[in-house]
Every structure is written in C-alpha cells, then in structure tokens.
Structure 1
C-alpha cells in the first residue's frame, strides 16, 4: 500500500526525531532499529523504506540533534547582556545532565561518533557550524583569538556534561558542572 508523499515525509521525520531521542539516551548501539520503529508506532519492516541502514539513520538523527542545539544557541544569543551566563546555566545544569534524550547532541553522540567513521563527516560539519554560531552569539575577550576561545569553551562545557553524567557521586557531579561554569565565565 502506497501512502501520500506528505504522510511518508511525516513518518520519515518522526523516525529521525525518535532515533535522535533514543540514540542520545541510550547510544547508537543501545537502541535498535526495532526500538526506534516501536517508539514511532511503526513496524520494523517499514524502516528500509526510509533508510538504507542504521548508520544512515544515525547520521540523520545526529544532524537533527545538532540542528536543535544550533537553534538553542541562536535563541540564547538574543537573551540580552547576560546571554553567555544564561546559556551556560542552562547547558551545565542538572536537567541537561539528567536528560540526555532532550539535550545537546555533542555529549550524547561523541563516543558513538569516535567509533563510527560514517558519522564523523556529519559530526565535523555540524561542530564547525556550532563553533561559528557560538563565536557569533556571545561576547569573547579581546586580544585573544576568538576561535581558540570558542573551541576551549565548547570542549570544556561538553566535557563537563560527559563527566557529570559518568560519575556516581552526586556531589562531584554537581561540582563538575558548577566549577566549569564558574571558570568559563571568569575567563
């Protein structure tokens, strides 16, 4: 049975959105095609009408999640004088740490990307776009290369979320988030 093009496009987008959510929560290896399709209310057999492979879905879901992160940066860029502090307060928060399925793609996908060469091109191009957006959105110190500052800022905040998610000591997890936020704002 053939479906109208708009319904097929809606299903395709729904698969990407659910995969993005599940892959951020469980990792690419931790969420099967069956899990993704079930979350969409579809059967496993319908997957290949939309994607050639799980790797193709992983790339599409990574791109979707990274676009959401870019939209958040652009939104926060209009938050006024304290926009950098507000962005960091949101990014380095317990809510972001505790809900990877709704958060930034970088800390959620980075390990998968390092192990999956097929995802690296998508990740690299989206990371460059994010670095550019951060550079354009927030104030940076004069007299130091802006790109260097933005790369350090990005690596520190992403690393902080990864570490805060990995430890089993709640006090240390909170300390990681607050310490990195303090240091990034002190720069």
Structure 2
C-alpha cells in the first residue's frame, strides 16, 4: 500500500510540474522571458507561489523547461503539417502555414523563435541550448523537403528559409497596419516558394 501511495504522489507531482511548464511555455511566448514572473505562472496554474520551489530550483530552470516545451510543441506541429501535406507539397504547406495570418495571431501557441528571438541571446545557457536544438531541427526539417536535399546547397537554402520566415513573422506581428502585416507575410512566402523549387 505505501508504494502505491508514493507512486500516486509522484504521478500527481509530475502532472503538476507539467502543468506549470505548459503554462510557462504559453506565457513566455505571450509576454517574453522578462515579462514572465513566477507568481503569475503559479497563479495561472492554480497553485500557490510557495509551491514553485517543490518543482524548480530557480526561475531560470523553469524558463529553460518552458523554452524546451515551446520548441517541442512547435516542432511537433511542423512535423505534423509536413506529414499531412499532399505528396510534393510539404515545403510549400510548411511555409504557408508558418506565414499564415492565423499564425501571426497565435502568439501564445505559435513559434517561439518569432516570439522570443530578440530576447533569447540574453537568457541562461540552458534556454539558449533548447532554442539552438530547435533551430537545428527546423533547418533539417526544411532541408529534407527540398528537391535537392542531400546536395550542398540544400542546407544553405534551409538556413535562408528559416531566417526569412522567422523575420517575416516577427515583423508581421510588430506592425500596427494589417495591410502591411499581410504584405510582409505574402512577400516572404512568394520569395521562399521560389527558392524552394
């Protein structure tokens, strides 16, 4: 009986930990690393501020897990989009989904690179490591969709594609003119589609 109770407690603690990380992953994309406070995260997770240290050694540890979670969610979404695309259309579908108006509006659930890019260089090494892994995986995913995958130029094309798409999404979110936002997205998509052939 004691082992069953201990297992139930461990499972409950793991579930609570995961809930906190999920809330933090949304919060960092919505408010940035600097705008994400422990008290607000714990309140949104339905927990007391004091319970935080039963789960994390520091705010930075929480941010590192939140960044990793946001990146994992983004990667899973992109992988699913590529898998669901019609044959030969994975790259275009990925780019069109990424540069969609819906993605511009989905700050909390969208790409962490576009939401947090300019802040990431000032974060702890653990946060930067999680983001670096995600960038490398995304470059690889894009390169694998290119017709010249495996050839020398494919990797460089994927680098340009990711840089352009993230930059266009950041700018499309930044401006206060919907028409300009649409133009930024659409121009980037046309350009990226042309170099992906």
TM-score > 0.5 by shorter chain? yes
Equivalent residue, structure 1, for 2:192? 184
d(CA) in 2 for partners of 1:76, 1:139? 15
Superimposed CA distance per residue, residues 124-169 of structure 1 (whole angstroms, 9 cap, x where no aligned partner): 1221122122222x12447651110111000000000111111112
TM-score, structure 2 normalization: 0.88
Which one of the candidate residues 136, 139, 143 is aligned to 1:131?
139
Give the unaligned 5+ runs of structure 2.
1-5
The 10-residue stretch of structure 1 (75-84 or 166-175) with the greater mean CA deviation from structure 2: 75-84
d(CA) in 1 for partners of 2:92, 2:130? 29
Deviation >3 Å, runs of 4+: 140-144
- Size of the aligned set, in residue pairs, is 185
Superposed, 1:45-56 pairs within 5 Å as 45-56=50-61
Once the two structures are TM-superposed, the CA of residue 77 in structure 1 deviates from its matched residue by 2.1
d(CA) in 2 for partners of 1:146, 1:5? 46
Which one of the candidate residues 168, 173, 176 is aligned to 1:168?
176
TM-score, structure 1 normalization: 0.92
Give the unaligned 5+ runs of structure 1.
none
Equivalent residue, structure 1, for 2:153? 145
Cα distance 1:140–1:150, how it changes in 2: closer, same or farther (>3 A)?
Answer: farther
Alignment pair present for 1:25 and 2:30: yes
Structure 2 contact 21–62 (Cα < 8 Å) conserved: yes
d(CA) in 2 for partners of 1:170, 1:149? 29
SS at match of 1:35: helix
Equivalent residue, structure 2, for 1:89? 96
SS at match of 1:145: helix
Which one of the candidate residues 111, 114, 120 is aligned to 1:104?
111
